[in-house]
Amino acid sequence: MEIGLNHYLVLSAILFAIGLIGVMRRKNLLMLFFATEILLNSVNISFAAISHYYGDLTGQMFAFFVIAIAASEVAVGLGLLIVWHKSHNNIDLEQMSTMRG
């Protein structure tokens, strides 16, 4: 049995659904970051699979840029998370909504 484009797209859709459920249900900021990474990786799988299917490198380049943007997002987000945890000793999203300067 050969693995075709549909298999990759179904895997990507399943991962996207898992990530979306994780984003909607999590109250912990660290778990929210993990769910966001799952969402972005599902999109990367779709980009790479479609790029390979059409024989074009454009989708793989988009996936590369998504990975770079995700890395910078995590770096900034984890920096904010560390500062918040040092000052409030928790990482609950409900209490972060009251963040004021």
Contact yes or no for 23/34 (Cβ under 8 A): no
Task: State mean pLDDT over 66-94.
Answer: 83
End-to-end CA distance of the chain, in Å? 58
Q: What is the pTM of this model?
A: 0.79
Residue 93 scores a pLDDT above 80 = no
CB 34 within 8 A of CB 22: yes
pLDDT tens across 18-75, in order?
999 999 987 777 888 889 999 999 999 999 999 999 999 999 999 999 999 988 988 8
The pLDDT assigned to 83 comes to 83
Level-2 CATH architecture, domain 5-95:
Orthogonal Bundle (1.10)
Categorize the per-residue pLDDT at 6 as very low, low, confident or very high, splitting at 50, 70 and 90: very high
